[in-house]
A and B are shown apart, each in its own frame.
Chain A
Amino acid sequence: MDQSRLTLESFAALVLRAGLSLSPSQMKELHEAYGHVAAMAERVRGTPSLTEESAMIFVPHSTTR
């Protein structure tokens, strides 16, 4: 898996946006692991139809009974 998708500086921006405070060693380790997770996120990204949505649905009877 490509671990070089995001520079450490860009990853630090993600950490900041998430509101997290990480130690330098934690930042380095999580940045390395992020490459694997980013590759997984990329793998599940498809090109969904705008008119056919089969997964993200809401079933009202399950909340009103």
Chain B
Amino acid sequence: MLTIAKAGALIAQRKLSPVELVQSHLDRIDRLEDKLHAFVKVTRESALEEAKRVEAEIMANGPKGPLHGIPIAHKDIYSTKGVPTTAHSKLLARHVPDADAVTVSRLAAAGAVTLGKLATHEFAWGGPSFDLPWPPARNPWNPEHFTGGSSSGTGAAVAAGLILGGTGSDTGGSIRLPAAFCGVAGFKPTYGLCPRTGILPLANSLDHAGPLAWTVEDCAILLHAMAGHDASDPASADVAIPNFRAALSPSLKGLRIGFVRHFHERDYLLDETMKKALEVAAGVFRGLGCELRDVELPPLQDWTACGMIIMLSEAYGVHEEWLKSHPQDYGEIFRDRVLMGAFLSAADYVHAQRKRRELCAALARVFEEVDLLVCAITPGGAPPIEEVTKMSSFERPSFAFPFNVAGAPALTLRAGFNEAGLPLGVQIAGRPFADEMVLRAGHQYERATNWAQMRPRLDGLA
């Protein structure tokens, strides 16, 4: 199975035709999509036209980079000019943007070929929902199990090999959770590194744009195209963008890693298989020459409460008018979750922002002693999709929220499989703008394990 890095190298050597590559992925979508529901819309004709155009460019001038001719797709909250951008919602079923999101334009400028728009939980939070115009995406490792969300279609499509990479967004784990449950790599960069211009918001001060792909190296390639200052996003960071891919190689020897053991041993207990997988992951980092030590952060419950109050307040602010005028047009899950924001006060929001500052300071103190953190991302493998409840987000703490609250870069990648053959994930996080270091650690970890060699068996689906 190809990765972006391998396909890019083959295209550069003229051993792989972008037209054939795109066609083969469209064929694969034809075979598997009716079981996986990863796409809201497949843009077949424009993809093939684009593939022919980039192939001609490459034949004439050579590839302009590793994404030239690579089939990708976008979470359906990323605006795409002339192509519906629905947020997987009846409310926006006929919404056709007149401009691309900045990140969509940048990936296109890098030569990536868009195959379509990917399923999401409604407005990046409401799912898995069965009362929307499109069904929820299914997990390629077992379609009866949850993909995680909200970048559910991206996780499923990458895992099934329908695309080589794609875009996601992460307000409280929406890149990292589907990465964990679908067994792919998902990277939430530092807040502001990738502009959100043209991406439909969930909660502006927590929303991050980022990539999902099969490998960390592929995430680095996608991130390199997506990142960079954009003045039209007030949160966009005006910082130099390094070559993330080139930064993957140096050894991890001597790196100080903090293992946030209390997240899963005290704050929210993992299942035993997941717990063992985390210990094995910690051992891999030791084997790579890292110095591991346990570190103490504020409890997960503090991070979750802070993130949730901010997310509910901001999301309700975005949706209040429609929730009152068109409540019947939302899916039940998103509508009832976001309605909880109606019952919070302005003082609640102010207190949450103050708490956020305290939590960020606590994280910064820990990062004076260590370079990276390793911790859990989910309590176990993907649960059956029918067991995911509407209000589950409020009932238990989140391993993902700390790094949304802090705006810190965080990567999820494979840490093994459970007894049911479903992927397990591990999370690596760094201090804000240490994105290169997080990706480097993930890449070296990935190379030291064989998890990336294992793909879902899809023969029973087609």
Contact = CB atoms under 8 A, between A and B. Distances in A.
A37 B342 contact: no
A16 B51 CA distance: 55
Interface string B379-399: 000000000001100110000
Interface in A1-37: 11, 14-15, 18-22, 26, 29-30, 32-34, 36-37
B305 interface: yes
Given A20-B339, A34-B343, A56 B309 contact: no
Contact of A19 (B302, B305, B324, B390): B324
Contacts of A56: 350, 353-354
Interface residues on A, range: 20 to 34
A50 interface: no
Given A43-B305, A44-B305, A55 B356 contact: yes
B390 A29 contact: yes
Given A14-B343, A26-B336, A37 B308 contact: yes
A34 B342 contact: no
B461 interface: no
B395 A41 contact: no
Interface in B285-310: 301-302, 304-306, 308-309
A14 B342 CA distance: 8
Interface string B388-419: 00110011000000000000000000000000
B352 A44 contact: yes
A53 B312 CA distance: 23
A60 interface: no
Nearest to A26: B336
Given A37-B340, A40-B305, A45 B390 contact: no
Given A33-B391, A55-B356, A56-B354, A43 B339 contact: no
Given A18-B343, A20-B339, A29-B390, A41 B351 contact: yes
B355 interface: yes
- Max count, chain A CB within 10 A of own CB: residue among B302, B309, B343: B343
Nearest to B301: A43
Q: Indicate the member of A22, A26, A37 with the most B CB atoms within 10 Å.
A: A37
Contacts of A40: 304-305, 308-309, 394
Contacts of B309: 37, 40-41, 44
Contact of A29 (B324, B336, B350): B336
A54 B357 contact: yes
B391 A36 contact: yes
A36 B304 CA distance: 11
A48 B51 CA distance: 58
Interface residues of B, number: 32
Interface of A is mostly: helix
A64 interface: no
A53 B351 CA distance: 11
A29 B391 CA distance: 9
Nearest to A35: B394
B344 interface: yes
B348 interface: yes
Contacts of B348: 41, 44-45
Contacts of A29: 336, 390-391
Interface string B195-206: 000000000000
A30 B391 CA distance: 9
A36 B187 CA distance: 29
Given A20-B342, A37-B394, A48 B324 contact: no
B336 A44 contact: no
A37 B354 contact: no
Given A44-B309, A44-B351, A62-B234, A32 B391 contact: yes
B29 to A, nearest CB: 37
Contacts of A20: 323-324, 339, 342
Contacts of A46: 351, 354-355, 358
Nearest to B361: A54
Given A34-B343, A44-B302, A46-B358, 6 more contacts: A29-B391, A30-B339, A33-B336, A37-B394, A44-B309, A44-B354
Closest 8 interchain pairs by CB? A40-B305, A36-B394, A18-B342, A43-B305, A44-B355, A55-B357, A33-B391, A55-B354
Interface of B: 234, 301-302, 304-306, 308-309, 312, 323-324, 327, 336, 339-340, 342-344, 348, 350-358, 390-391, 394-395
Interface of A: 11, 14-15, 18-22, 26, 29-30, 32-34, 36-41, 43-46, 48, 53-56, 62
